[in-house]
Amino acid sequence: MTGSDRPPAAVLFDCDGVIVDSERPLFDLLEGDFARYGLPMPRDEIMHTFIGGTMYDVGRRARAHGATMPEGWEEDFYERLFDVLAKDAPLIPGIVEVLDALDAAGIGYAVGSNGSGRKMGITLGQHPEVLRRFHGRLFSGQDMNRPKPAPDLYLHAAAALGTPPEACVVVEDSPTGARAARAAGIPCYGYAPHDDGARLAEVGARVFGDLRELPGLWGI
């Protein structure tokens, strides 16, 4: 694992829940839809079960558990979610400080998100100073048709930065993303601000609770 004695050559960030707080409205909508379509489930269970996937994966798995979402639910859900996110998608506390530290150290970075490019445009577009810093380095597993936990997204992001995967690190908040990092051979830091991060640790992530810890963990 990359540690304080060897800074990473590049950093690959997840977007939702790591750079922008877009997961609260997501799970608000999912909780209501699951109950509406015959799969009432506590919010914590929804988060633990479905975090990190695309809505197409969520719909498939929810139907397998007995939910009765109609055909086209996924597209409708995305439109409703985008309407909510367009009103407010705050930055995760500490992300600007992390980017400042990386810039000062001359370390490149990119985003590898399961969200679409359109979604990142809506959320990150509310923070032009952050969006500018990722210009040309926003990559979507959904748009590539190879979402996490497949390793392709992070391998693509590393290649775009001209950095071997093993010299990068990934910052994730979901086991799905951490599995993608592991499959790509990239060390993963698991952001767990609300619990002990056991589910992230189970898939090999080094767990931490505050983004502002990262520069110190990386020795920069």
DSSP secondary structure letters along 119-136: HHHHHHTT-HHHHHHTTT
SS3 content of the chain, % helix, strand, coil (to 5): 50, 15, 40
Residues contacting residue 74 through CB under 8 Å, at least 6 positions apart: 55, 56, 58, 59
Question: Over the stretch 22-44, which tens digit does the pLDDT of each residue have?
Answer: 888 888 999 999 999 999 999 88
Place of tokens 């601000």: 193
CA-wise closest residue to 220 among 134, 132, 48, 97: 97
The pLDDT, as a whole number, for residue 32 is 95
Which token pair is 181? 């990092």
The pLDDT, as a whole number, for residue 5 is 57
Spatial separation of the C-alpha atoms in residues 36 and 47, rounded to whole Å: 17
The pLDDT, as a whole number, for residue 2 is 43
User: Are the beta carbons of 146 and 128 closer than 8 angstroms?
Assistant: no
62-84 average pLDDT score: 95
pLDDT at 1 over 50: no
Dihedral (Cα; 69, 112, 5, 106), 10-degree rounding? -150
In the chain, % of residues over pLDDT 70: 98
